[in-house]
Amino acid sequence: MFPVEEITIAQLHAAYLEGKTTAREVTEAYLERIAAYDKRGPYLNALITVNPNAVADAANLDAALKSTGKLTGRLHGIPIIIKDNIDTSDMPTSSGVALFKDFIPGRDAFIVQRLHLAGAIILAKSSLSELAMGLADTINSVLPGFTRNPYNTAYASGGSSGGTGVAIAANFGTVGIGTDTGGSVRAPSSINNLVGIRPTVGLVSRTGMAPLDSQRDTPGPMTRTVEDAARLLDVIVGEDPADPRTADAEARIPPTYTAFLDRAGLKDARIGVLRQVFKLQDGADPRVIELFETAIADLRGAGAEIVDEFKVPGFEKFPRPPQTAAQYKADWERFFAYEGPHFPVKTVAELRDAPAGKGVHALHAARVAEVAAVTKTPDEDPATVQGRKDEQRYREAFSAAMDVARVDALVFPVWTFPPKINGDRGQTPQGQLTFIGSATQWPVVVVPMGFVGENLPMGFQFLGRPWSEGPLIRFAYAYEQLTRHRRPPPIAPPILDKK
């Protein structure tokens, strides 16, 4: 069996072209790992649906390569895990909701179409908090129990894209895609020892992706390396006439984000350290601060000019713009209509009133009931209107402060505390700092910065100005190549060849 653990896109493509392996063999190797570790052994519980056609899809790609001698596209034969709130026309899309678990959309999401055209193999759909409503953990009504962190299964996987995070960390696929509204790519990337990119809202289409808050929603790569994140981003970016937020994207997209992969990419970069985050209400765990201080020293050692006391005036008192029930309701019911007449519900009230065993998890039932009761549109709802004003305040304040300090990016942790134990419902602090990227709707790249406590990974964020994904990838790559904090979870080791 071809060894797939920690393998990259470039390594697989080289192996295909050199005849060392096939897409079918690689797909079967990942399926063997899924069979051994997802619902058996450590019971990571990361996947909702495994594609029954994945091996056949891989065989077709092998035949095409044999016939032409060329790779089909940028992701030829690359098995990918996608979050189960992204539509696939050949597999159910549940959004983590029991009532939706058998619904098969009539068409692929825009980014799934892009993935297919690039030659990717959609290997599986991953677990998520219902309707992407979680951040600290991943639990839903489709899969009983938690998705479990592969570095320590007593701990949370992060939400809401925890299924993708665990699957890619445990080498169930080569690369993955999550979605991010309030931190759902960044949080699980941080605590699963992964690279995660939350793009500028509008760089990647949301058509066919179940929404949470359409002002902030975006899909994003979740990968084991910065290079693979750049390669995946190349494929999924672009203008989509069905998503007006992407209208400005095309002029902002470079020929390839891999052009920014520069080991010396931090030399002379001005990086601001947003220490104000440690003064927020939750505070910080000293172990996380120690890791972050080491990361800053590494950035300096790689040639960056560190602006150590970067400040956004008044930031500590900025309100955190809410994700409002009015926006949820408008976006959910628009999406229910988009999915067509065969979708299980047309209104949030119907979801609230789902029969026993089909409703949302008790953790989210009150929120769904609150959303169902809303009578105002987002434009009429005072909380939503004020929230949009507050978001603009973030953009203006951060932009002005970055200009004054002449910094290229800001750095700060994803969380100021280690992951929570599964089942922790607010008993311990979290210190999540993903709200900044969500409020600004600016790009963020998360990279691993090491481990704390009981083998628990932690990451930090590079935040940049709108459309600055390229420079952020450059900084993240240079840091990654210097520090090499990525390591696979021991609980899911290579499977010995039985031959």
Terminal C-alpha separation, the chain: 8
Q: What is the pLDDT of residue 60?
A: 99
State yes or no: is 184 an active-site residue: yes
Q: What is the pTM of this model?
A: 0.98
Domain ranges within the chain, ordered by starting residue:
9-322+383-483, 325-378
Kindly report the CA angle at 299 between 165 and 309, in degrees rounded to 5? 105
> Considering 95, 127, 160, 468, which one is annotated as catalytic?
160
C-alpha–C-alpha distance, residues 372 and 345, integer Å = 12
Q: What is the pLDDT of residue 281?
A: 78
User: Could you tell me the two tokens for 341?
Assistant: 């007449």
What are the beta bridge partners of residue 447? 460
State yes or no: is 190 an active-site residue: no
User: Could you tell me the two tokens for 183?
Assistant: 């931190």
**CA–CA distance from 141 to each of 203, 278, 298, 364, 421 (Å)?**
31, 35, 42, 10, 19
> Considering 83, 101, 125, 329, which one is annotated as catalytic?
83
Q: What is the pLDDT of residue 1?
A: 83
State yes or no: is 160 an active-site residue: yes
> Considering 129, 161, 184, 205, which one is annotated as catalytic?
184
Topology of domain 9-322+383-483, CATH: Amidase signature (AS) enzymes (3.90.1300)
For each of the chain's 499 residues, which pLDDT tens digit applies? 899 999 999 999 999 999 999 999 999 999 999 999 999 999 999 999 999 999 999 999 999 999 999 999 999 999 999 999 999 999 999 999 999 999 999 999 999 999 999 999 999 999 999 999 988 889 999 999 999 999 999 999 999 999 999 999 999 999 999 999 999 999 999 999 999 999 999 999 999 999 999 999 999 999 999 999 999 999 999 999 999 999 999 999 999 999 999 999 999 999 999 999 999 978 899 999 999 999 999 999 999 999 998 999 999 999 999 999 999 999 999 999 999 999 999 999 999 999 999 999 998 999 999 999 999 999 999 999 999 999 999 999 999 999 999 999 999 999 999 999 999 878 889 899 999 999 999 999 999 999 999 999 999 999 999 999 999 999 999 999 999 999 999 999 999 876 5
C-alpha–C-alpha distance, residues 274 and 250, integer Å = 31
What are the beta bridge partners of residue 411? 273, 462
